[in-house]
Structure 1
Amino acid sequence: MTSIGIVGSQGRMGVALAAAAAEAGHGHCGVDKDGDVGALAKEANVLVDFSSPAALEQTLDACVAQGRPIVIGTTGLEERHHYLIDDAAADIAVLQTGNTSLGVTLLAHLVREAAARLDPAFDIEIVEMHHRMKVDAPSGTALLLGQAAAEGRGIDLGDCSERGRDGVTGARGHGKIGFASLRGGTVAGDHDVIFAGPEEILTLSHRAENRMIFARGAVRAALWLLHQKPGRYTMPQVLGLGEA
């Protein structure tokens, strides 16, 4: 029986991960803030981290030291965190994603395909809504979907995104990908990718009804990662979509 180590075990996602591991017939162990992640890496076969960007470096060091693969679902990562992940991936298998939902993974695939096939006259807007306690915006999932759209169009998301429109902003930039973030209530996560073209609109959507969908996807990814060589992996690869 596989033991799944949960970093941030007392958080909302940590509790859901424990339930998902048990549901799948696997054991689990965990640490929370100020816990000994090194000891967790010794005990578990694979780690799953949904804690905080500040804890990531220590967790990666522990995984490398013990040769443990890790699934990283923490959002709000900065550029330096991705450098740390790249370094760790030279020694262990690492899967980092803005969303572990299997449905969102397939949605990103469809967004990439739509962006590649629709005329550039179709403007792309991404609208996301989450619970009032979420601290980062746009959500990691919205950025994941934006990246998929940018890849489909063959453009760089960093150069082509528009966020936080307010006041007299002027006309929408041609070829831009827009983001809007809503916060309120207990929403687990709603995402709409809107392709607004001349006289027609295509909307691709995903609604998360419970965070267990993210936990189940993370457990599936963790079990898949156990059989992979060192390197950096993505959720589409878990579903056999072949996208890096």
Structure 2
Amino acid sequence: MSIPVIIHGAAGRMGQTLVNLALHDPGLALAGVVDRHTDSEKLTALDCPVAGEVGELSPPSGAVVVDFSAPEATMHLAESLAGTGLAAVVGTTGLSDEQSARLRTIARDVPIFWAPNMSVGVNVLLQVLPDLVRKLGEDYDLEITEIHHNKKADAPSGTAIKLADCLARARGWTVSEQGAFCRQGIIGPRPKKELGVMTVRGGDVVGDHTVYFLGPGERIEITHRAHSRETFAQGALRAAKWLSGKQPGQLYSMPDMF
């Protein structure tokens, strides 16, 4: 039986990738698309309902909304799902701490899956990094660089923040206290209790993230490169299948699916 999905933010780059993959996945049925650009030719050519809000659709019971939009649009969507019987997979990045906390609260009543990076490779990396931090020890300085296309709105990326949080927790730190997101001028020697997160923007880079362990006489670099947006879209649609039929009560994420 196919799982009905609704793509929220369907006219965007990621939205179009999700639509195309959903249309060719026998395990999914495209039940509708949502975007403020309802007159977009990309959407009107589809053989499914098009709307500016999820509430304007009449989706079948058990449908899962897949959302890659902007923080404000994501929060509006999440707030609107209470009592609808719909679930949501959220891949939006750039949510504030307050928005993240609100999403967790909403997830008590609405099945919601949220991951700032839907890549299987990145999420496996998040599982192995803490062991490297512990085994290498405090003589190794920790740094992160991330590169994305020149149209990405938020910085640093949600994935870079997630990686930084993973490293910081392994050291018993917090990103808010030990994170360094900008260096300029005569800053002096690098503090030992510091975690640098640097942002690069340009071209059409889908997403590169490198974690550095810089030690005495050597360094280790671990890089993840996304070659296509399909990497994230496939992960999100896999999450939609997994989330279908799940009960609310917690904010689900990639480790839950694994």
1:54-100 CA-to-partner distances (Å, cap 9, x unmatched) read 11222012222212221111111112211221221111221212111
Equivalent residue number for residue 13 of structure 1: 14
Say whether residues 1:159 and 2:177 are aligned partners.
yes
Deviating 4+ runs (over 4 angstroms): none
Structure with greater Cα Rg:
2
1:66 aligns to what SS in structure 2? coil
Query: Equivalent of 1:118, from 118, 126, 136?
Result: 136
**How big is the alpha-carbon RMSD for the aligned residues of Structure 1 and Structure 2?**
1.6
Separation in 2, partners of 1:187, 1:48: 23
Aligned residue pair count: 239
Q: Residue 196 of structure 2: SS of its match in structure 1?
A: strand
1:36 equivalent in alignment to 2:53: yes
Taking structure 2 as the reference length, what is the TM-score of the superposition?
Answer: 0.88
Deviation (angstroms), 1:229? 2.3
Task: Describe how 1:42-191 pairs up with structure 2 within 5 A.
Answer: 42-43=59-60, 45-191=63-209
Identity, % of aligned positions: 37
Compute the displacement of 1:236 (Å): 2.0
Partner of 1:27: 29
- The one-letter amino acid paired with 1:22 is L
Code of the residue aligned with 1:128 in structure 2: it is E
Q: 1:163 to 1:128 in 2, by over 3 A?
A: same
Alignment check: 8 A CA contact 1:193 1:203 kept? yes
- Deviation, 1:237, is 2.0
Worse-matched range after superposition: 111-120 or 218-227 = 111-120
Residues 1:38 and 1:163: Cα distance change in structure 2 (over 3 Å)? same
For the 8 Å contact 1:47–1:70, the answer to whether it is kept is yes
Q: TM-score, normalised by structure 1?
A: 0.92
Q: Secondary structure at the match of 1:64?
A: coil
Task: Tell me, in whole angstroms, the C-alpha distance in 2 between the residues paired with 1:41 and 1:166.
Answer: 53
What residue ranges of structure 2 are gaps of 5+ in the alignment? 38-51
- Note closer, same or farther for the CA distance 1:41–1:166 as it changes in structure 2 (3 Å cut): farther
